[in-house]
Amino acid sequence: MVNLGVDFCGIRFKNPFILAASPSTDNREMTARGLERGWAGAVLKTTSLESEEVSITYPIMSGIHPGQGLVGLHNTDLLSERHIHEVAKDIAWLKSRFPEKRIIASLMGSTREEWHELVGISEQAGADMIEASISCPQGAELEGELTLGWMVSQDQHLTEKVTSWVVEGKRRAPVYVKLSPSVTDIVSIGKAVEQGGGDGICAIDCLEGIGGIDLGTLSPLPSVQGKGTRGGFSGRAIKPIGLRIVADLAGGVKIPISGVGGIYDWRDALEYLLLGATTVQVCTAVLQRGFGVIDPLLDGLSRWLEDHNYDSPAEVVGLALAQLTEHGELTHGVKVISSIDLDLCIGCGLCYVACADGGHMAIEFPADRRPLVQEGLCVGCGLCAQVCPVPDCIKII
């Protein structure tokens, strides 16, 4: 068994898997169960000073699930309705029970003084790290101004300013900043965190979205008494965005990154590590499947590392970045084509339809339902392999 221990911002974690700030970590008993189950640390649900009015409207969840499973979860949740002094008690309680696990306080303030106070209380309670939440899609308040519809982390200068406030407030606990993917240039935001003195970055927070429309009442989803609002979209579907943001940050900043966004199984987590994340955080998979998803995460990651002769997850951080390049740098002019394994083919014809109407009309589908790739027409775009319902049946070679 590989030792999965990793360092993030100078703090040792038993493994790279951290529970992200979410309803799962808004309750100390639940968080304790997660830590017992094997998670290396938990980011408690984002909290604020008592002066901050937080009132969640229910329901907060809608989702998209084509076919089996939940592809994405849309929520209109807010920060915790439990304020800093109450959460501080949880921090102390959890630290006393799990001294070897990492408890991270996720904070949201609106003025320098508020941030100092929040950080001070958290440190005093025993928090190992501070997460500065400046990326909540539900908006924030800055120096008394509501920033509804946009976030601190969408502005380079505000990001640097707020980061510096948080850092000023700390004595011991490293500070990392959670960033939104909804920006035009993530590297400039990452550099702003660095400039502000942040010890690390966590990316990505949810994407802003609208959950859908109830076609009976015309209310956006989730519907609260006939009305809905913008919210945050998370889950499997956002992984490619998260991977891209983490890779961009890894190439542009020096401080360590905790990767979040659509991690469901160990392969997702490993992909984040390979693109530069040091630890990963998981939220939606836990909301859907419970804390137990940690077992196959640990097992799968450990086996892959062992099979590939790595002694630690740290050894693979950023390994795939060397193969991430600009389009112009890719090898041009290599002919590949679609190859269909007729022993596996079930004769559904989906590859034929996709190629005929979205590809290059290169697949024939005769009466015997055996698709035939016309090598002269096939450019190897790969669409057929994506629409094929049978794993391994179509390969682009």
List the catalytic residues: 136
Handedness of CA 183, 188, 194, 197 (dihedral sign): negative
To the nearest whole angstrom, how small is the minimum distance from the Cβ of residue 342 to another protein? 13
Q: Which helix (H) or strand (E) holds 286?
A: helix 284-289
Stretch that binds another protein, among 2-10, 21-29, 182-190, 293-301 (CB under 8 A): 293-301
Distance CA 329, CA 215 (A): 47
Least Cα distance to 105 among 89, 35, 77 occurs for 89
- Distance, CA of 367 to CA of 251 (rounded, Å): 52
Interface mask toward another protein for 227-266; x: CB under 8 A: --------------------------------------xx
Under rule CB under 8 A, residue 36 binds another protein: no
Binding mask 340-359 for another protein (x = CB under 8 A): ----x---------------
Q: Which of residues 51-110 bind another protein (CB under 8 A)?
A: 68-69
Q: Which two tokens stand for residue 116?
A: 């100092």
Question: Among 296, 347, 358, 382, which residue sits at the site for another protein (rule: CB under 8 A)?
Answer: 296
Closer by beta carbon to another protein, 216 or else 391: 391
CB of 367 to another protein, least distance (A): 24
Given candidates 143, 299, 311, 375, which one binds another protein under the rule CB under 8 A?
299
- How near is the Cβ of 303 to another protein at its closest, in Å? 6
- Applying CB under 8 A, the site for another protein has a residue count of 18
CB of 296 to another protein, least distance (A): 5
Find the Cα–Cα–Cα–Cα dihedral 13, 101, 174, 200, rounded to 10°.
40
Element (H, E) at 285: helix 284-289
Q: Quick one: which of 200, 203, 115, 125 has its CA closest to 166? A: 115
**Helix, strand or coil for residue 320?**
coil
Residue with tokens 């790595």: 310
Give, as one character, the DSSP assignment of residue 210: -
Chain positions contacting another protein, by CB under 8 A: 68-69, 265-267, 289-290, 295-296, 299-300, 303, 344, 389-393
